[in-house]
Amino acid sequence: MSHENQSVSVPVPEIQESSVKSILNQLIEESTNMQTSHKLWHNSLKQLSKEMDKEVKKVIKSRPKRKVVQKPQKVTDKMQKFMKKYPPALDEGVELEHNGLYTRQIMMKAVSGYIKSANIQNPENKKQWAKDKVLTPIFGLKDDWYTFMQINGLLSRVVIKDVVEAVAETAPVSA
């Protein structure tokens, strides 16, 4: 037999851990525990942040929408005829007219609804619409194309200002 294949068992004396090594192991264990606690704490903070964002969204959504009460205005005879012939689809509880007076909101809906139903929108640019034989005499249209954003300005042409309001607006303010 050769010496190479033989294994010799040598008794190894038990070495007691030194106090330094035990303190080091204790610190490593505490560090691991702290790391785990920190991860849990961090995850809890992230979850709290998400919940707070959800609560903020709920509060924002639950706020009542702003309601604007517009004053009905007197309009030209042509516009009154148009409004009676092409009334807009209104929400429940909204009055179309107040003794021949209309709000800008109602008139905007009527004109927009007419434009869509008369199919005078530009098919390539839905924001534009063309003048036609109904709208031209009411608003005095000269251009070929207009945008929906211009309707409010066009409505200014058909609103009749009361003499009292017009004088009050043009009168100089005395100090």
pLDDT, one tens digit per residue, over 16-74 is 568 888 899 999 999 999 999 999 999 999 999 999 999 988 888 877 777 777 788 88
- How many separate domains does the chain show? 2
Same domain, 124 and 153: yes
The pTM for the full model equals 0.54
Residue 104 domain-assigned? yes
Predicted pLDDT of residue 42: 94
156/82 same-domain check = yes
Over residues 78-112, the pLDDT tens digits come to 888 888 888 887 666 566 666 778 888 888 888 98
Residues 53 and 82 in one domain: no
The answer to whether residues 33 and 88 belong to one domain is: no
pLDDT of 58 reads 85
Residue 145 contacts by C-beta under 8 Å, 6 or more apart in sequence? 122, 128, 129, 130, 131
Give how far Cα 129 sits from Cα of 32, 132, 144, 149, Å.
71, 9, 8, 11
Q: What is the average pLDDT score of the chain?
A: 81
Which residue range(s) make up the domain with 51? 18-63
Find the CATH number of the domain harbouring 85: 1.10.245.10
| 77 shares its domain with 162 | yes
Question: Are 81 and 165 found together in one domain?
Answer: yes
pLDDT at 175 over 80: no
